[in-house]
Amino acid sequence: TSSDEALAGVWRTNMSENTKIDQYVENLANTHQMCATLLKTPHYAKMGMEGVFTIIQTAKSLGIDPMIALAGGLYYFHGKVEMSARQMNAIIRSRGHSITVDNKSDDKICIVHGKRKDTGDTCACKFTIEEARRIGLTKNPTWLNYPEDMLFARAISRLGRRLFPDLIGNCYVEGEIDDDKLK
């Protein structure tokens, strides 16, 4: 009868939801066990359970291998996740999208152009040494020693937020959270 078929449909839906919940709980337990194992090493012990767990879960949600994330792709800082510019670049390109550094880029300005493979949408973003100076970033020795790399990191972060937010999530680029203390 149709009522039996309807009940069977509800039962299958509930079983499917219960299976998803069970898989989620098992995934969390596995992640917790991985964290406990990693925390036995001095490097990960410095990050603490919260940092290691957050990086692993963020990596999984973004489709990044957790060990790559823990090896410098993602950072945990003041309760937030930062992503290295290398990781942003890699994740965007690995999904078939393109990023081009404008040939006008130098140690004073970085301009990056992005194009989405799926929609064809494009965007260009820049970050200048003047912006960095104005907000106090150039007080950091890394900015003085590697201005082109630092400008690229900020430009790609801006591009990622505007054109590829589905790929980088709500991650900040490496150094952005710490740089807030300079302001």
Mean pLDDT of all residues belonging to the chain: 86
Q: Rounded to the nearest 10 degrees, how much is the dihedral formed by the CA atoms of 61, 65, 67, 72?
A: -80
Condensed to tens digits (0 to 9), the pLDDT of residues 22-48 reads 666 667 677 677 767 766 777 777 878
d(CA 44, CA 104): 40
- The answer to whether residues 157 and 137 touch, using CB atoms and an 8 Å cutoff, is no
Statement: residue 69 has pLDDT above 60: yes
Mean pLDDT of 123-138: 96
Count of CB atoms situated within 10 Å of the CB of 17: 10
CB burial of residue 173 (10 Å; 0-12, 13-18, 19+): buried
**What's the confidence (pLDDT) of residue 102?**
98
Name the pTM for this structure.
Answer: 0.76
